[in-house]
Amino acid sequence: MTASARAVELAVAAARAAADRKADEIIALDVSEQLVLTDVFVIASGTNERQVAAIVDAVEEALHKLGAKPLRREGKGEGRWVLIDFGDVVVHVQHTEDRVYYALERLWKDCPVIELPADVVAGADAE
């Protein structure tokens, strides 16, 4: 089983919203084979707590426009690692230092990477 089309749609929207807020190293992983509770992890980094919060707000707004509401949100007060659970998609926005330390990509390295549109990847890499 692979991620549903809806989960991929939401993941791309979340990634695009993160890129619009200059998030770094945006990646989407299809975790549907490993987890029963969700299909996709979207992981993005911010360089400081304010940027992490801005990315989180942008992601929530973008997914709200698509009819997705967060089931739960954790970590927003600290601004270091915010997890937003939309059911089929879980978005992790981490401070750059925390991302290196926790290395979620390494933990989920056996999961396929979902290809993100060129504008998302280019937007995240642009300074």
CA distance 18 to 21: 5
pLDDT of 90 strictly over 90: yes
Sequence letter at residue 115: E
Q: What is the pLDDT of residues 20-64, one digit of tens each?
A: 999 999 999 999 999 989 999 999 999 999 999 999 999 999 999
At 31 the pLDDT is 97
Mean pLDDT, to the nearest integer, of 59-77?
A: 95
pLDDT of 97 strictly over 60: yes
At 88 the pLDDT is 95
The continuous run of DSSP H or E covering 64 comes out as helix 49-65
At 124 the pLDDT is 56
- Region of residue 101 (left: phi > 0; alpha: psi -120 to 50; beta: else): alpha
Q: Looking at 66-127, list the stretches that DSSP marks H as alpha helix, in order from N- to C-terminal side.
A: 96-102, 104-107, 118-125
The continuous run of DSSP H or E covering 40 comes out as strand 40-46
Residue 127: band (very low, low, confident or very high) from pLDDT cuts 50, 70, 90: very low
Q: Which domains does the chain have, with CATH numbers?
A: 5-125 (3.30.460.10)
Question: Which residues contact residue 26 at a Cβ distance below 8 angstroms, ignoring those fewer than 6 apart?
Answer: 15, 18, 19, 42, 43, 44, 116, 120, 121, 124
